[in-house]
Amino acid sequence: MKKRGQRRKEGGSLKYKRREERLAYLLLAPIILLVGGLILVPIVGTLISSFYRNITFLPPVKFIGLGNYKRLFSDLNFWHSVFITVGFTVVSVLLESILGMFYALIIHEKFRLRGIMRAIVLIPWAIPTIVSAKTWQLIYNYNYGLLNYLFMRIHLSSHPINWLGSPMSAFTSIVIADVWKTAPFMAILFLAGLQSIPESIYEAARVDGASMTQEFFKITLPLLRPVIIIALIFRTIDSLRIFDLIYVLTGGGPAGSTSSISVYGFKAYILGDFGYGSSVSVFTFLLIFLFTVIYLKLGRFREGLKNE
Amino acid sequence: MSEKRKRILFIWIGSLITSFICLTPFFWMIIVSFAKFPNFLASKEIPFIFTLQHYREVIGTHDLHVMNYFKNSLIVAVVVTVLAVTIASVAAYAVSRIKFRGKVFIIIGILAVSMFPQISIVGYLFKLMTKIGWINTYQALIFPYTAWVMPISLWILVSYFSQLPIDLDEAAMLDGATRMQTLIKVIIPLAAPGVFSTSLLVFISAFNEFMFALLLTSDYHARTIPVGIALFEGLHGEIPWGQIMATSAIASIPLVILTLIFQRYIVQGLTAGAIKG
For domain A71-307, the CATH superfamily is MetI-like (1.10.3720.10)
Each residue's pLDDT tens digit, B57-67: 999 988 899 99
With beta carbons under 8 A apart, name residues in chain B contacting A115: 263
> Per mean pLDDT, which of A4-13, B157-166, B175-184, B199-208 is the most reliable?
B199-208
| CATH 1.10.3720.10 domain extents, chain A | 71-307
Q: What is the mean pLDDT of residues B112-117?
A: 87
Q: Which residue of A has its CA nearest to B8?
A: A111
Kindly report, residue by residue over A164-186, the tens digit of the pLDDT: 999 999 999 999 999 999 999 99
Please answer yes or no on whether A212 and B3 come within 8 Å at the CB atom. Answer: yes
pLDDT at A3: 46
Nearest Cβ partner for A135 among B25, B99, B215: B25
On the question of pLDDT at B275 being above 80, the answer is: no
Reported ipTM: 0.93
Crossing angle, helix B3-33 and helix A129-139, to 10 degrees? Answer: 90
Q: Which residues contact B222 (CB under 8 A, 6 or more apart)?
A: B72, B136, B137, B138, B140, B141, B216
> Are residues A45 and B148, on separate chains, in Cβ contact within 8 Å?
no
Contact of A99 with chain B, judged by CB distance below 8 Å, is answered with yes
> Would you say residue B88 has pLDDT above 70?
yes
Let me know if B118 is exposed, middle or buried by CB neighbors in 10 A (0-12, 13-18, 19+).
buried
A58: Cβ contacts below 8 Å, ≥ 6 apart: none
Output the CA–CA distances (angstroms, integers) from residue A53 to A71, A74, A77, A202, A264, in the order listed.
11, 17, 20, 63, 18
Quick one: pLDDT band at residue B1, thresholds 50, 70, 90? Answer: low
CB A148 within 8 Å of CB A160: yes
User: What residues in B contact A135, CB-CB < 8 Å?
Assistant: 25-26, 28-29, 245, 248
State chain A's maximal CA–CA distance in angstroms: 86
**Whole-number pLDDT of residue B173:** 87
Q: B117 vs A105: CB contact, 8 Å cut-off?
A: no
Please tell me the pTM assigned to this model: 0.92
- Taking only the tens of pLDDT, chain A with its 308 residues reads 444 444 454 455 788 888 888 999 999 999 999 999 999 999 999 999 999 998 877 778 889 889 999 999 999 999 999 999 999 999 999 999 999 999 999 999 988 899 899 999 999 999 999 999 999 999 999 988 999 999 988 888 888 889 999 999 999 999 999 999 999 999 999 999 999 899 899 888 888 888 888 889 999 999 998 899 889 988 999 999 999 999 999 999 898 899 999 999 999 999 999 999 999 999 999 999 999 888 878 766 565 555 54
Please judge whether B270 and A188 are an interchain contact, meaning their C-beta atoms are less than 8 angstroms apart.
Answer: yes
pLDDT at B46: 87
Going along chain B from its start, the domains and CATH numbers come out as 57-275 (1.10.3720.10)
Note whether A28 contacts B106, CB cutoff 8 Å: yes
Q: Among A212, A241, A269, select the one facing B6 at the smallest CB separation.
A: A212
Band of pLDDT at residue B272, cut at 50, 70 and 90: confident
Per-residue pLDDT band at B234 (split at 50, 70, 90): low
How much is the pLDDT for A261? 95
Please give the mean pLDDT across all residues of chain B. 91
The pLDDT value recorded for residue B67 is 94
How confident is the model at residue B277, as a pLDDT?
A: 43
